[in-house]
Amino acid sequence: MSYAPSAAAVKKIDGIIAPYPEKSAALLPVLRVVQDELGCVPPEAETWVAAKLGIQPIRIREVLSFYTMFRRRPAGKTIIQVCRNLSCTLAGAEDIIGFLKERLHVGPDGTTPDGRITLVTVECLGHCDHSPCLQIDGIDHGPVTRDGVAALLEELRAHE
Amino acid sequence: MSEDAVRLIPADEGSWRLEAYLRRGGYEAARKAVMSMAPADVITEVRKAGLRGRGGAGFPAGLKWSFVPQGGAGPKYLCVNADEGEPGTFKDRAILVRNPHQLIEGMTIAAFGVGIRKAFIYVRGEYGRIAGRLREAIAEAEDEGFLGGGIFGSGFDLEVIVHLGAGAYICGEETALLESIEGRRGQPRLKPPFPAVVGLFRAPTAINNVETLANVPLIIGRGADWFLGRGLPKDGGTRLFGVSGAVRRPGLYELPMGTQLRTIIEIHAGGPPEGVAIKAVIPGGLSAPALRPDELDVTMDFDALARAGSMLGSAGIIVIGDKIPILDVLKVMARFYAHESCGQCTPCRIGTSWIHKTVMRIGEGQGRASDLDHILRLADGMKGRTLCPMGDAAALPVQALVTKFRDELEKAVAR
Amino acid sequence: MSEVKMVGLTIDGRTVRAAEGTNVLQAAEQAGISIPHFCYHPAFEAEGNCRLCLVEIEGLPKLDSACSTVVREGMIVRTSTAPVLEARKDVLEFLLAEHPLDCPICDKAGECKLQDYYDRHGLFPGWFLEAKEKRQKKISIGKGLLLDRERCILCTRCVRYLRKVTGTGELGVFERGVRAEVGTYDDAPIDNNYSGNLVDICPVGAITDTDFRFKTRAWFLEKRPTVCPRCSRGCAVIVESVSGYPLEEGERRVFRIRAGENPAVNGYWICDFGRAGRRDIDEGRQERVIKSASPESELSWQKALADVMARIRSVPGPERAAKVAVILNSRMTREELTLAKRLFAEGLSLDKIFFADPKPGAADGFLLTEERVPNARGVLQAGFSPRLPDLDALAASVEVLLVFGSHLLDHFSEEAVSRALAKIPSKFLFSAHTGPLDRLAEIVFPLAVSAEKSGTYINIDGLRQSFGRAAEPAPGVVSEHEILGCLAAGLGLNVGEHDVR
């Protein structure tokens, strides 16, 4: 299997690479574009990015496995990140996580049976004055309650 | 309006837009520096202002700049540390959201002072949407000639690139941040050489926190004396104190450096909610050793907190109420550092994991009498011995909890 | 050449002088003070990740890694104070918490730095009560190498070696924290001619070689240096063999060849081709003198050599130049070549002195040269003009032929060599390894290989390197030196044998 990003993504990637004194430095932002397009960074995309940036694929695997926001395997269309660091824990994050797991019936990989939503727990979203907080596809919500979370899930369903 | 002009987090409508910033007197300090000051004078003024780094370590910003070699034909870089990952900290986010132009202006001044033409802003990956607003602000500033080629019509150029991280606490450590900008795993580098001499792409590099740089226009615009007057004699300016946890009004409070911790918690943040008493306070982000309720009469500045056995760090204050078992706090702490250790050096890689495993075992009711002493010993094994400051960041707060709340933890172990 | 600037410092109270730019670890080593370390290797920049080499440096608030600290004038270093010893112990304790105690079946046992340092600096009661991480223990990473992730201590020497020395970069570090692990990229195994060095530089038993795995225990190995004979680079190698116990009485086996250190030639590395020379020493050897007329009979080489002398003598002196021929090779030592020159060219006045060497291979751009012999320069220095024989001419005129080595077959087909040799009445083969030429010779003599000899090679850059015997000779073998000396003595020729060494 080979991968080639869309023309728009390639254009974006070229724009990202341009200002870096060494193109391999653009790896993180380039992987983000790829992941935005594919939902994850599969091996065939590693090969493409490696060729694009003039580095070995192994360097990409090293980076992918280091940063928690990169995914090597597909996840749900919607990603819910729930913070469970101290401020949020103090504000009841574990209860929110339990509630979400129950409502979404997520499997061990955190993804709903229909593959639509992936639930992940994260360490501090930097929104501690709104704890407990969570992020849905990059948008922060907080402080959330069980009812608030239920409403957010409803909204997600309505948008499908 | 006049108060907003000197606040890092202004309250005016649309405060992040260029027009709002200009109404607050924005970019006048940069204009003054670029058009009428010698670069060395910029550094001198910032040194005089006693501006200490707002990222956590509190190193004097002007002094840091002065380590970057002057002149030279090769490139030099400015890196802005917007990898705000210290749990309990949300101040840089507020600057990026409410006042991005003040950061940009501070960068322009710093770059002019140090002789830099290219800057990177390393924004943590979780702030992806916030970075979008920052990019808009950069574009606005470029359009107006405040950034880019020939700033204010002078011969001074500055290109700014926003670089998004991807989820790694360790990238807030300045050399890990450099590795991450270079497209690698965020594993800290050995020091020396220090980044000021061998930094990004092996070139001399100045690295500063967002809040640090956002203060720079105030210093250049109003003078070092004015800035010192807003803080302490050796520790100038205000500080953004983030308060979260068991308080009525969690939020960000911009107050003079040296404000009493108790004042911030009780007065500004409204104290703990009805029926809750304070059990512990973490004064400077998760890595700062916790204080007991009887230790809260301390001023919030770098030196006073160091004397109190803790640190000002990122000034993220986490108030822990008496309804929360300390073991729960310890569990979060142990899990966090084990999760965020980059794995490069032995004591941190294995020490954080070992502590985590032990704490979880205690949590499962399998504690042993020796466990708490072991945790203290493990923390000792990491402290001062790791490749980067993360070893201390992970060891000190754990040690503080175990030492200060030993009685409660003994009961948890014996359960 | 600019003078190296020296820096004076104090280590453990001793005044030490070290070249500017030296790190504290090296400076201490030069002064005879060894500072334990895993990740540091003199061939790479310091990485400072193992934290075992922490020392006290006066004026610094914390311990610092000796490997990454460059010496400064007046620096005061302490390597064995209580805080230093405590730090060492703790680092070892951390490592052992996650390291399996499978030393009884680990190839590295006996030469493992973790074992050695624990014995020297550890010796603590263990109190790790948690479960060790489960990791893969037998991952094939290419070229017969196996990776054991439980044993790995993440020193990353292997990763850095493949990035900085071979430039091939097949290994990387994945994941992070305690889950961090070394590995190859999917199906892209290690594939370069220098992979064996990974086993040498791994301080623990995380990377092992199937060629050595489970074959013997490190403490039985006798380790002796020599010069690699497999190309003209002349790399320093260590031959590691066992003679006798725990093998059978009189048995000798070479288990491993490893890189020796020689800054002037190979640094710390050898190629896999040279490393595989182990098999040249141990496998396919001629074990005894075989006379084709009576193949079963036991015959000493001295006795058999009498036949050779008789044949040579049977050719009248003036006719020898045309009727006696020898084929030599460039694996012979400088001393043997001198002897051969005096014996054959000067003593016997032979015209027909030829050379048959292995065919050149491709140089790899690093150490391995095209010439697959160690002493082509020595051949020239001994005064030979090496050339291959013309088989037809040889067959037409020669009555006695002495062949040293079996590399005629690298240049001629077996059929052509058979045809030519059939026409030569007397032919003798001196060879270390069995081969198709054996059946064509009247007598086959079992020769020693280079590791079983002492002598001198002159490498591709003209560097003379003398070496001693690195392995006990296989039973019954004889060196060219002994053969040539005996021939000379037997033929009454003064070749000044004693001054050629």
**What SS3 state is found at B205?**
strand
Mean pLDDT along residues C379-395: 96
The residue segments making up the domain with residue C22 are: 6-80
Same domain for C438 and C318, yes or no, is yes
Chain B touched by C168 (CB under 8 Å): no
Band of pLDDT at residue C196, cut at 50, 70 and 90: very high
- Spatial distance between the Cα atoms of B26 and B221, rounded to a whole number of angstroms: 9
Query: Do residue C113 and residue C188 come from a single domain?
Result: yes
Residue with tokens 């042993």: B368
Same domain, C325 and C426: yes
Here the ipTM equals: 0.97
Distance, CA of B395 to CA of B413 (rounded, Å) = 20
What residues of A are in contact with residue B242 (Cβ under 8 Å)? 128-129
Model confidence at B1: pLDDT above 80: no
* pLDDT confidence tier of residue B415, bands split at 50, 70 and 90: confident
Q: What percent of chain B has pLDDT over 70?
A: 100
pLDDT at residue B25, rounded to an integer:
96
One domain for residues C315 and C432: yes
Give the A window 45-74 contacts with C, CB below 8 Å.
56-59, 61-62, 65-66
Stated as kind and residue range, the H or E segment containing B360 is helix B346-363
Burial classification of residue C197, based on how many CB atoms lie within 10 Å of its CB (0-12 exposed, 13-18 middle, 19 or more buried):
buried
Same domain, C326 and C403: yes
Give one DSSP letter per residue of C120-139, joined into a string.
Answer: III-------SPPPP--S-E
Q: Tell me the three state secondary structure of residue C332.
A: coil
Q: pLDDT tens, A17-59?
A: 999 999 999 999 999 999 999 999 999 999 999 999 999 999 9
Question: In this structure, how many other beta carbons lie within 10 angstroms of the beta carbon of residue B71?
Answer: 6
- Is pLDDT above 60 for C1? no
pLDDT at C314 exceeding the cut of 60:
yes
User: Are C334 and C447 in the same domain?
Assistant: yes
Q: Is B102 helix (H, G, I), strand (E, B) or coil?
A: helix
Surface-to-core class of residue C40, CB atoms within 10 Å of its CB (0-12 exposed, 13-18 middle, 19+ buried): buried
Q: Where residue B94 falls among pLDDT bands split at 50, 70, 90?
A: very high
Any residues with CB less than 8 A from the CB of A27 and at least 6 apart, and which? A49, A53, A55, A59, A60, A63, B183, B184
Residues C262 and C394 in one domain: no
CA distance C186 to chain A (A): 9
For range B396-408, the mean pLDDT = 98
Which CATH number goes with the domain that contains C294? 3.40.50.740
Percent of chain C with pLDDT over 70: 98
**Within this chain, do residues C265 and C317 fall inside the same structural domain, yes or no?**
no
d(CA C342, CA C384): 11
CA angle in degrees (0–180, nearest 5) for C313-C317-C319: 105
Instruction: Judge if the upstream peptide bond of residue B193 is cis by omega within 30 degrees of 0.
Output: yes
Residue C430 has pLDDT above 70, yes or no: yes
Question: Which residues of chain B neighbour C68 with C-beta distances below 8 Å?
Answer: 190
Instruction: Look at A95-109, B262-276, C271-285 and tell me which has the smallest mean pLDDT.
Output: A95-109
- Clarify whether residues C307 and C276 are in a common domain: no
C325 and C185, same domain (yes or no): no
Question: What is the rounded CA–CA span in Å between residue C207 and residue C199?
Answer: 5
Instruction: Give the nearest partner residue to A128 out of B127, B316, B321, using CB atoms.
Output: B316
Residues C268 and C304 in one domain: no
Q: B65 near B141, Cβ under 8 Å?
A: no
Residue B388 phi, psi (nearest 5): -135, 175
Q: Are B368 and C129 inside 8 Å of each other by CB?
A: yes
Q: What's the whole-number mean pLDDT along residues B162-180?
A: 98
Q: Rounded to whole angstroms, how far apart are CA atoms C279 and C182?
A: 30
| Share of residues in chain C with pLDDT > 90 (%) | 93
- CB spacing of C176 vs A43 below 8 angstroms: no
User: Per the CB < 8 Å rule, is C177 touching B354?
Assistant: no
The overall average pLDDT reported for chain C is: 95
CA C385 to CA C337: how far, in whole Å?
A: 12
Asked if C93 lies within 8 A of B339 by C-beta distance, the reply is no
CATH code at position C19 = 3.10.20.740
- Domain boundary residue, one of C80, C107, C141: C80
The model's pLDDT over B286-307, given as tens digits with 9 standing for 90+, comes to 999 999 999 999 999 999 999 9
Secondary structure (DSSP) of B128-185:
HHHHHHHHHHHHHHHHTTSSBSSGGGSS--BEEEEEE--S-GGGGSHHHHHHHHTTS-
For residue C178, the chain A residue with the least C-alpha distance is: A66
Rounded CA-CA distance C428/C403 in Å is: 6
Interval B201-234: pLDDT, tens: 999 999 999 999 999 999 999 999 999 999 998 8
∠B111-B114-B115 over CA atoms, to 5°?
75
- Interface touch C90/B387, C-beta < 8 Å: no
Q: Looking at the predicted structure, is the pLDDT value of residue A11 above 70?
A: yes
- As a whole number of angstroms, the distance between CA B360 and CA B358 comes to 5
Q: Distance between CA B77 and CA B196 in Å, rounded? A: 9
The answer to whether residue C49 sits within a structural domain is: yes
**Cβ proximity of C304 and C296 under 8 Å:** no
What was the pLDDT predicted at C497? 53
Across the interface, whether the CB atoms of A59 and C169 are under 8 A apart is answered yes
Count of CB atoms situated within 10 Å of the CB of B218: 25
Measure the CA–CA gap between B39 and B53, rounded to whole angstroms. Answer: 20
> Is pLDDT of C47 > 50?
yes
Cβ contacts (< 8 Å) between B342 and chain C: which residues? 176-177, 180
Q: What are phi and psi of C437, to 5 degrees?
A: -70, -20
Distance of CA C446 to the CA centre of its chain: 22
Looking at residue C385, what DSSP letter applies?
-
pLDDT at C308 over 50: yes
Whether C102 and C129 map to the same domain: the answer is yes
Please state the rounded mean pLDDT for residues B351-370. Answer: 97
| Any A CB within 8 A of B161 CB | yes
Global pTM value = 0.95
pLDDT at C496: 67
For residue C2, the model assigns a pLDDT of 64
Partners of chain A (3+ Cβ pairs below 8 A)? B, C
Instruction: Write down the domain spans for chain B.
Output: 18-228, 238-321, 326-413
pLDDT recorded at residue B223: 97
Inter-chain residue contact C130 with B358, CB threshold 8 Å:
yes
3-state helix, strand, coil in chain C (%, to 5): 30, 20, 50
- Give per-residue pLDDT as tens, C204-261: 999 999 999 999 999 999 999 999 999 999 999 999 999 999 999 889 999 999 999 9
| Contacts of C227 by beta carbon, 8 Å cutoff, 6+ apart | C234, C235, C236, C237, C374, C450, C457, C459, C465, C467
Nearest-CA distance from A153 to chain C in Å? 32
**CATH number assigned to the domain covering B18-228:** 3.40.50.11540
In order, the DSSP letters of A78-98 are EEEEEE-SHHHHHTTHHHHHH
Range B378-398 average pLDDT: 97
Strand partners, B60: B52
Distance between CA atoms of residues C387 and C355, nearest Å: 5
Fold exhibited by the domain B238-321:
Ubiquitin-like (UB roll) (3.10.20)
CATH code of C120's domain: 3.30.70.20
The token duo for C264 is 């002037």
Question: What pLDDT is recorded for position C126?
Answer: 86
At residue C176, what are phi and psi to the nearest 5 degrees?
-150, 175
Tell me whether B88 touches chain A (CB under 8 Å). yes
Q: How far is CA C287 from CA C281, C283, C292, C349, in A?
A: 12, 10, 15, 32
Residue-level pLDDT at C35 = 98
pLDDT value of position A1:
63
Taking CB atoms and an 8 Å limit, are C178 and B352 in contact across chains?
A: yes
Dist. CA C201–CA C204, nearest whole Å:
9
The mean predicted confidence, pLDDT, of chain B is 97
pLDDT bin (cut points 50, 70, 90) of residue C295 is confident
| Chain A residues touching residue C172 (CB < 8 angstroms) | 58-59, 61-62
For residues B407 and C379, give the distance between their C-alpha atoms in angstroms, rounded to a whole number: 84
Nearest to C473, CA basis, from C432, C424, C445, C427: C432
Q: Tell me the shortest Cα–Cα distance from A51 to chain C, in angstroms.
A: 15
Average pLDDT over residues C130-150: 97
C173 and B381 within 8 Å at the Cβ level: the answer is: no
The helix (H) or strand (E) run that includes residue B284 is none
pLDDT for B91 beyond 90: yes
pLDDT of residue C493: 85
| Pairwise CB contact (< 8 Å): B186 & A28 | no
In a domain, C498, yes or no: no
Centre a 10 Å sphere on the Cβ of residue A90 and count the other Cβ atoms it contains.
Answer: 24
> At which residue do the structure tokens 């005089």 appear?
B48
The C-alpha atoms of residue C225 and residue A98 are separated, in whole angstroms, by: 66
**Topology (CATH) of B326-413:** de novo design (two linked rop proteins) (1.20.1440)
pLDDT at C499 over 50: no
Q: Total structural domains in chain C? A: 4
Among C447, C444, C443, C442, which Cα is nearest to C478's?
C447
SS3 at position B298: coil
**Structure token pair of residue C413:** 């087909």
Distances (CA, A) of C122 to B386, C93, C112, C232, C369: 19, 7, 14, 45, 45
Q: Closest by alpha carbon to B240, among B301, B315, B313?
A: B315
